[in-house]
Amino acid sequence: MAAPGAFAPQLSGFEGDPLLGADGRLRVAPDGSSIIPLGPDRWYRSDWYQQTGNGNAQRSQWFDDEGRLLHTSTRGIRYGDRLEGSDLLWKIELRDEQGGYQGTGLADAQGKVHFPPMREAGDWMVIAPDRMAWQGRDGGARIFSLDGREVLHIDAQEIWVGGPFADRKVYVICGDYEMAPCRVQDEKGAVLLSGNFDEARAAGDDGWWLRQLDTWARVDAAGARVDPALYQGATLWPRYRSSVRFDRAADRPLEVRRHANGLDSDAPERGWLLDDGRFVALPASATGMIVDYCPGRWLLRGEDAGESIVDAQGRVVAQARSLGFNDHPAFPWRLRNAHDGAGAAILDCDGRVLFEQADVVDYRATDAGVLGTLAGERSPRLWIGADLQPHLVPPGLWLREDYIAVPLLVLDDDEGNAHLYNTQLEKLVAVSFGSAEELTATQLIFLRDGSYGMMLADGREVLPPLYTQILPMSAERIWTRQYVGRDGDWKNEITLFDGSQRVLVRRRFESGGMGKVAAREGGDGVPGILDLSLGSMTVDGMSYGLRQWLGRDGEVLASAVHCTAEQRGSEADSGVLLGRGWRVDSDPKRPCYVPAVVMQAAQDSGIR
């Protein structure tokens, strides 16, 4: 049976974190070390901070959601950011068993260090599906295969200029001074060609495009010229690293002007150098700049406002008039605004018009679709979703870009009121409200007259605006919080509703708040657990902080009591963590005394 998930709350009065199961069981007791989530069913505990410099041995441990110890190491490991381009690896810092710094490396969620740590400054990067690189900040690089083997070492006195290429495990390496030669070398150390060039890019038939300053030449595998033409491109510094695969500019075609006979007196022809070794001429009308249009598509602008869309082979795909356009982040659309006789439109990557309406002058992309502004109006009133069907909302109302969850749209009016529009019903479905708090495709949490309520997609207010907070955990579980009482005797009341708004649990307490378990505590793996702060209770002049975690049906999974130093007669605060049939004190030798009234507040669903 799969584990139901776990979380690691950060507790007041404790040094270190516990690991609690979503069922309320204590999986790993706190012992002075922090626990962090690494991914589904994986947790990491480390003494990296607590034991630095005190002579104690380092300790690193990996657990699953059940609290089973999967792996342990006496090396100190600190996880940092995920490695860009990898779903499995994190950047880490390493210390040896005595706490000595070893460098930075890469590790997975199991704690396996995949590559040797590097002590010098630099960075790790993915450079090919099966190649990883360490690039030193002061020069030099080391290339590794995914099994940890070093396949190439580039000295600090040399510059890694390019490679590996899509179909060749070879690299371009140059000396670090202007007149030093460059070479193309494979991972076995064999030099395929060398010479006075600044950059090399793979071309067809094992040949190369070689650049010296701003001039390219086509050569064969041995470096011999295969045609007399010269290709003049952008002026670049020597050893410019434009062909290194992690450079995003390397994906764009190389634009040059071709001199067919290799003479400056030749009439230059504008075109691209392709990976297959060909030069392709661009349309003569394309005299203006080249702009990224779609993946594998570029827009060539002409002086007469005519434009060509070309593919990566330089072939004209379509003619277009799209002098002002925006990319769409989710769909393969380009949005053209009205300009110089060209109407606003939604285009595909081949330049075909997908949607056009004569009175629209501007389109703006959102994640779920497109907003359109009509001529003479200041804000968008037209909505076009993924199905390209238009929805024009009533006059005097404007679309809210940050509150769209198809089929629901939140609209604003000029008086500052908000409205809910359902595109399936093609109408406003509710009376106005002050503002939106949270919107999904099925429900809206809204604010009216200073209190929160909730309505469904058809506009029915299933929870009236009475609440200080509404926290949906799922479609079937919703928590609310409100102040109840009178004449200064106010209390917090929390209520758990099911999907039919039936009350499952209701509790009252003096003060505090509620929220979901934070992501840094593993909340993504336990989305139905409520983190409830009951504030402080004062007994005999002493304050006790109380915090609880409630499950899907409102049952108390665990409780934590925070005791101050004065309550213990010691120099430090402490804490007590309670569950069904178990108790953990932060200092078992000097446990905090918890008064009966505080324990009573914590006693619910079997907590003792």
Match 């404790």 to its residue by tokens: 14
Sign of CA dihedral 243, 245, 247, 250: positive
CB 404 within 8 A of CB 412: no
User: Which tens digit of pLDDT belongs to each residue from 175-232?
Assistant: 877 778 999 999 999 999 999 998 899 998 899 999 998 999 999 999 999 999 999 9
Residue type, 523: G
Task: List phi, psi (to 5°) of 133.
Answer: -135, 145
Contacts of 79 (CB under 8 A, 6+ apart): 36, 38, 44, 90, 91, 92, 107
Question: Could you tell me which of 516, 517, 522 has the C-alpha nearest to residue 35?
Answer: 522
CA–CA separation, 585 and 591 (whole Å): 6
Please, what is the Cα angle at 186 between 183 and 189, to 5 degrees? 85
Across the beta sheet with 334-336, what order do the strands follow?
325-327, 334-336, 345-347, 353-356
Task: Report the pLDDT averaged over residues 555-573.
Answer: 75
Tokens 């929220």 sit at which residue? 515
Angle at 402 between CA 399 and CA 403, to 5 degrees: 70
| C-alpha to C-alpha distance for 52 and 28, rounded to whole angstroms | 23
Task: With beta carbons less than 8 A apart as the criterion, state whether 549 and 566 touch.
Answer: no
Looking at residue 264, its pLDDT comes to 84
Q: How far is it, in rounded angstroms, from Cα 539 to Cα 544?
A: 8
> What is the spatial distance between Cα 284 and Cα 265, in angstroms, rounded to a whole number?
19
Read off the pLDDT band of 510 (50, 70, 90): confident
Distance CA 132, CA 180 (A): 27
So what's the pLDDT on residue 140? 86
pLDDT bracket for residue 572 (50, 70, 90): low
Q: What is the mean pLDDT of residues 537-553?
A: 84
SS3 content of the chain, % helix, strand, coil (to 5): 5, 50, 45
pLDDT score of 606: 44
pLDDT value of position 605: 43
- Extract the tokens encoding 577: 């963590």
**449: helix, coil or strand?**
coil
pLDDT at 521: 96
Exposure of 10 in the CB half-sphere (CA atoms within 13 A): 11
Q: Which residues are CB-neighbours of 164 under 8 A, at least 6 positions away?
A: 127, 128, 131, 143, 170, 171, 245
CA angle, residues 580, 585, 586, in degrees to nearest 5:
135
Query: Distance between CA 326 and CA 318 in Å, rounded?
Result: 18
Please report which confidence band the pLDDT of residue 540 belongs to, taking 50, 70 and 90 as the band edges.
Answer: confident
Whether 1 shows a pLDDT value over 50: the answer reads no
Residue 164, preceding peptide bond in cis (omega within 30° of 0): yes
**What are 469's strand-pairing partners?**
481
